């Protein structure tokens, strides 16, 4: 067994001894609201914390992604990126003050992605306690404008403008501990808006109902034949519309996502939906618009890629059972640029999608040990072998 | 009638916490003065917030920067998990009734703060409420900074823009301080105009030298903040006080009836102080009951809140305290 793997189980207790600092990082960053496109204050705190931990260089790139660099011992080795997205799905008016209990922390956006960012902020202190140094520079990046309409703009810009090769990357998500993402589906996330054309003299418009029109759109989407290979799916994820119970809806909006491991299939399905919309728009005489919210290309590491094998070994050494699913996130952008990368989860949680989401404290120490193990594997050269 | 007050204080003795955010500087000043610092959190059923306060304060002001020498929790008999959680997150936890147990027992924040003087060791004591939802270590170092870096200041008090938590998970951006504006500020304006410069006299976060706290009486309940200001002002003057802008504090909203009870206690404390300081004569005793009304099944029923206004003497007058801190045990006045 590699030397670094043997050391990993011993890391967990040392990381646990930094519990107060790790939790403080999660709390101080997570309690600052940061809806997508409004991450400025969280960015400032991110940099303040890392500067306070004596990280060598703390700055923002041209797109205002905060980054900090822990200088490595070899100038010849390309940097290793550790990335967590800063933005959350919650508006500023939502209470972001977390509740800490004996074994858990709860609150808005804790799992997506306060834990991830807090873990990243804690790495310099954990490296110090473990007396770890690396040949590569370690670039700690909190990327902005990631989720939803952010469309991964932060990471796209960071990688587009980064001037040197990148050795490998670890993307840190709050949960779920045990995830090992190394491939991304192609994806298009779109919105369909239906607006009923106004007719003069009719206080409530025509009798055409925008929600029923979208219902027809949904029915026709569901009738599309999806192949088993390449693996493909269309998710109807959001619907809003109407004003009150007794009035036909004049406007309605539908959010959907097309995913496939083939970019070509994603484009074909997108075109099919466009045809459906054109047809229904003509048939019902309504304004029916289709817009793309975000999109990524399919990309993957093979299962036998040394990084995937090393990450699997790291997790198994720590008693974790790796679970692999596609992930459409920062991972997609690294992989599409041929930079080996994996996404890992820090801890276990529940109620991921609501304001009372909850993280478990104790498993996070193993989650952090796992992240450090993968960084050490990259530093040892697992991404250099091809 | 107008009053030519010293209005310079608000300019010279008002600070922003950011001035003290260089914790290396704070630690150097602490070392230079050779003082120790204790932090006290008085609690009563604070299981939702106590752990967070302890985690952040211990991480930032004990583990990373040893500004604090101890953190103690003095509990009034919580029926939830406050004490267990506080212990598990590393605090020294005391039941208020177990401190100086031979004395009469009272329940109230002032009681906890007073007893904390007996069990803490620090030359400087920092008092923070345990229900601060947006706790940050600035709440402590902001109050400590002026005490260490300004030789004249012996007592600091927080002020902030206080958003109120309303309903489920929503924050109203401004508000709070209703009792301050409707009760305290009019009283100060009428009797002690200089004290109106203290922007939030009721804030529950303050710090000071032991020599200040041990020499003033502590009302048991709501009146503690008001009496503390009046006593320090009377004994040492305004210039030993400072106030610190801690920016934002999120706290639980209280209904009007609760604020009425708080106002009753504050008014009683204030008037008692005026009498004790020979500033007014009271021809009749004040009553101990605040009478409010509530509607029960169509009938209007009185809802009585009793506040006797018990007060602990300056703790320096307690023999056990004098013995513990090696103070001359001669007769006390």
Residue range B276-298, pLDDT digits in tens? 888 888 888 888 898 999 988 88
Closest alpha carbon to B61 in B138, B133, B124, B121: B138
Question: Residue A124: which CATH number?
Answer: 3.40.630.10
Closest-approach residue (CA) in chain A for B84: A102
Peptide bond into A230 cis (omega under 30): yes
Give the pLDDT confidence score for residue A352 in this predicted structure.
85
Give the pLDDT confidence score for residue A136 in this predicted structure.
97
Question: Residue A223: which CATH number?
Answer: 3.30.70.360
Tell me the percentage of chain A whose pLDDT exceeds 90. 86
Residue B176: is its pLDDT beyond 60?
A: no
Statement to judge: residues A41 and A153 lie in one domain:
yes
Statement to judge: residues A45 and A76 lie in one domain:
yes
Q: Do residue B64 and residue A31 have CB atoms under 8 angstroms apart?
A: no
Statement to judge: residues A29 and A152 lie in one domain:
yes
Statement to judge: residues A311 and A278 lie in one domain:
no
Please give the structure tokens belonging to residue B206: 């303050």
Closest-approach residue (CA) in chain A for B21: A52
B206: β partners: B127, B157
Close Cβ partners of B258 (under 8 Å, ≥ 6 residues apart): none
**DSSP per residue over A113-155, as a string?**
IIHHHHHHHHHHHHHHHHT---SSPEEEEEE-S-SGGGTTHHH
CA distance A178 to A345: 6
Statement to judge: residues A55 and A156 lie in one domain:
yes
Statement to judge: residues A350 and A276 lie in one domain:
no
Q: Do residue B133 and residue A97 have CB atoms under 8 angstroms apart?
A: yes
The number of distinct structural domains making up chain A is: 2
Judge contact between A253 and A223, C-beta under 8 A.
no
Per-residue pLDDT of A99-118, as tens digits, reads 999 999 999 999 999 999 99
What average pLDDT does chain B have? 90
Strands A180-181 vs A341-347: parallel, antiparallel or unpaired: antiparallel
Q: Is A89 on the interface with B (CB under 8 A)?
A: no
Per-residue pLDDT of B303-312, as tens digits, reads 998 888 889 9
Burial class (CB in 10 A: 0-12, 13-18, 19+), A307: buried
Please give the structure tokens belonging to residue A159: 């990688």
Please give the structure tokens belonging to residue B216: 């003033």
Q: Is A355 on the interface with B (CB under 8 A)?
A: yes
Per-residue pLDDT of B194-211, as tens digits, reads 999 999 999 889 999 999
Close Cβ partners of A97 (under 8 Å, ≥ 6 residues apart): A31, A107, B133, B134, B165, B250
Residue finishing a domain among A233, A268, A296: A296
Find chain A residues with C-beta within 8 A of B90's C-beta: 20
Distances (CA, A) of B90 to A285, B52, B62, B103, B121: 68, 12, 11, 28, 17
Residue finishing a domain among A253, A274, A296: A296
ipTM of the complex: 0.85
Structural domain includes residue A385: no
Tell me the percentage of chain B whose pLDDT exceeds 70. 92
Q: Which residues of A168-182 are buried (b: 16+ CB within 10 A; e: fewer)?
A: bbbbbbbbbbbbbbb
Give the pLDDT confidence score for residue A148 in this predicted structure.
86
Q: For chain B, give the longest Cα–Cα distance.
A: 67
B72 phi and psi, to 5 degrees? -120, 145
pLDDT range class, residue B256, cuts 50, 70, 90: confident
Residue B175: is its pLDDT beyond 50?
A: no
Structural domain includes residue A124: yes
Burial class (CB in 10 A: 0-12, 13-18, 19+), B26: buried
Statement to judge: residues A321 and A231 lie in one domain:
no
Close Cβ partners of B237 (under 8 Å, ≥ 6 residues apart): none
CA distance A79 to B278: 74
Find chain A residues with C-beta within 8 A of B64's C-beta: 21
Statement to judge: residues A97 and A114 lie in one domain:
yes
Residue B167: is its pLDDT beyond 90?
A: no
Closest alpha carbon to B43 in B69, B16, B77, B8: B77
Give the pLDDT confidence score for residue A366 in this predicted structure.
97
Residue finishing a domain among A264, A296, A328: A296
Structural domain includes residue A110: yes
Q: Do residue A20 and residue B63 have CB atoms under 8 angstroms apart?
A: yes
Peptide bond into A176 cis (omega under 30): yes
Residue B275: is its pLDDT beyond 70?
A: yes
Q: Do residue A102 and residue B56 have CB atoms under 8 angstroms apart?
A: no
- CATH top-level class for B9-287? alpha beta
Query: In this complex, how many residue pairs, one in chain A and one in chain B, have their CB atoms less than 8 Å apart?
Result: 54
Of the two residues A49 and B162, the one the predictor is more confident about is: A49
Give the pLDDT confidence score for residue B132 in this predicted structure.
87
Statement to judge: residues A35 and A107 lie in one domain:
yes
Name residues of chain A where pLDDT drops below 50.
Answer: none
Of B134, B136, B170, the CB nearest to A93: B170
Give the pLDDT confidence score for residue B165 in this predicted structure.
57
Q: Show the domain range for A108.
A: 3-184+298-379
Statement to judge: residues A172 and A278 lie in one domain:
no
CA distance B64 to B58: 8
Structural domain includes residue A305: yes
Residue spans of the domains in chain B: they are 9-287
Statement to judge: residues A289 and A356 lie in one domain:
no
Statement to judge: residues A358 and A270 lie in one domain:
no
Judge contact between A78 and A54, C-beta under 8 A.
no
Dihedral of CA atoms B137, B138, B144, B148 in degrees, nearest 10, equals: 110
Of A24, A93, A97, the CB nearest to B55: A24
Q: Is A23 on the interface with B (CB under 8 A)?
A: yes
Residue B174: is its pLDDT beyond 50?
A: no
Judge contact between A234 and A258, C-beta under 8 A.
yes
Q: Which long-range contacts (CB under 8 A, 24 or more apart) does B30-34 make?
A: B30/B67, B30/B144, B30/B148, B33/B148
Tokens 């204790």, located at residue:
B38
Close Cβ partners of B255 (under 8 Å, ≥ 6 residues apart): none
């Amino acid at each position: 067994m590699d030397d670094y793997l043997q050391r990993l189980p011993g890391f967990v207790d040392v990381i646990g001894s930094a519990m107060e600092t790790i939790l403080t990082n999660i709390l101080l960053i997570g309690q600052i609201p940061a809806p997508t496109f409004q991450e400025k204050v969280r960015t400032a705190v991110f940099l303040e914390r890392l500067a306070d931990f004596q990280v060598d260089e703390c700055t923002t790139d041209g797109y205002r992604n905060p980054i900090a660099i822990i200088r490595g011992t070899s100038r010849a080795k390309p940097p290793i990126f550790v990335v967590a997205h800063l933005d959350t799905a919650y508006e500023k008016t939502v209470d972001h003050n977390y509740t800490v209990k004996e074994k858990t922390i709860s609150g808005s956006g804790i799992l997506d992605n306060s834990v991830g960012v807090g873990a990243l902020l804690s790495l310099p202190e954990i490296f110090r306690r473990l007396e770890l140094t690396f040949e590569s520079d370690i670039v700690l990046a909190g990327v902005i404008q990631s989720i939803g309409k952010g469309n991964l703009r932060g990471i796209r810009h960071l990688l587009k403008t980064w001037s040197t090769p990148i050795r490998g990357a670890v993307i840190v998500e709050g949960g779920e501990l045990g995830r090992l993402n190394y491939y991304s589906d192609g994806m298009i996330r779109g919105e369909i808006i239906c607006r009923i054309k106004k007719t003069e003299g009719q206080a409530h418009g025509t009798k055409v109902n925008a929600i029923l029109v979208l219902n027809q759109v949904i029915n026709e989407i569901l009738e599309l034949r999806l192949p088993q290979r390449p693996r493909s799916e269309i998710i109807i994820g959001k619907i809003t519309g109407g004003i009150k119970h007794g009035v036909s809806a004049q406007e309605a909006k539908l959010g959907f996502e097309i995913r496939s491991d083939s970019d070509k299939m994603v484009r074909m399905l997108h075109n099919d939906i466009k045809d459906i919309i054109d047809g229904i728009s003509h048939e019902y005489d309504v304004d029916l618009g289709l817009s793309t919210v975000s999109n990524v290309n399919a990309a993957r590491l093979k299962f036998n890629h040394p990084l995937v094998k090393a990450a699997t070994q790291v997790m198994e050494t720590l008693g974790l059972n790796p679970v692999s699913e596609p992930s459409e996130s920062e991972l997609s952008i690294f992989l599409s640029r041929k930079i080996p990368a994996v996404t890992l989860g820090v801890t276990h949680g529940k109620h991921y999608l609501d304001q009372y989401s909850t993280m478990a404290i104790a498993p996070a120490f193993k989650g952090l040990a796992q992240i450090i193990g993968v960084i050490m594997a990259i530093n040892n050269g697992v991404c250099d072998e091809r | 009638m107008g009053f030519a007050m010293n209005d310079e204080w608000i300019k010279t003795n008002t600070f922003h916490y950011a001035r003290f955010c260089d914790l290396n500087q704070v630690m150097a000043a602490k070392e230079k003065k050779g003082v120790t610092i204790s932090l006290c959190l008085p609690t009563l059923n604070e299981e939702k917030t106590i752990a967070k306060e302890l985690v952040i304060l211990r991480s930032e002001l004990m583990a990373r920067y040893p500004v604090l020498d101890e953190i103690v929790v003095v509990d009034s008999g919580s029926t939830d998990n406050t004490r267990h959680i506080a212990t598990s997150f590393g605090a020294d936890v005391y039941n208020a009734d177990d401190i100086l147990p031979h004395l009469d027992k009272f329940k109230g924040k002032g009681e906890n703060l007073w007893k904390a003087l007996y069990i803490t060791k620090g030359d400087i004591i920092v008092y923070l409420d345990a229900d601060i939802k947006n706790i940050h270590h600035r709440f402590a170092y902001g109050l400590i900074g002026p005490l260490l870096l300004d030789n004249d200041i012996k007592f600091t008090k927080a002020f902030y823009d206080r958003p109120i938590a309303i309903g489920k998970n929503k924050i109203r951006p401004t508000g709070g301080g209703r009792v301050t504006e409707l009760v305290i500020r009019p009283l100060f304006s009428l009797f002690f105009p200089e004290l109106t410069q203290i922007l939030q006299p009721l804030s529950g976060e303050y710090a000071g030298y032991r020599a200040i706290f041990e020499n003033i009486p502590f009302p048991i309940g709501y009146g503690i903040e008001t009496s503390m200001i009046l006593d320090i002002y009377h004994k040492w003057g305004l210039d030993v006080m400072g106030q610190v802008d801690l920016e934002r504090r999120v706290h639980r909203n209280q209904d009007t009836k609760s604020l009425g009870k708080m106002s009753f206690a504050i008014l009683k404390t204030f008037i008692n102080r005026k009498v004790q300081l020979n500033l007014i004569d009271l021809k009749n005793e004040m009553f101990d009951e605040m009478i409010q009304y509530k509607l029960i099944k169509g009938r209007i029923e009185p809802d009585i809140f009793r506040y006797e206004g018990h007060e602990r003497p300056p703790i320096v007058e307690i023999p056990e305290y004098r013995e513990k801190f090696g103070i001359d045990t001669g007769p006390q006045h």
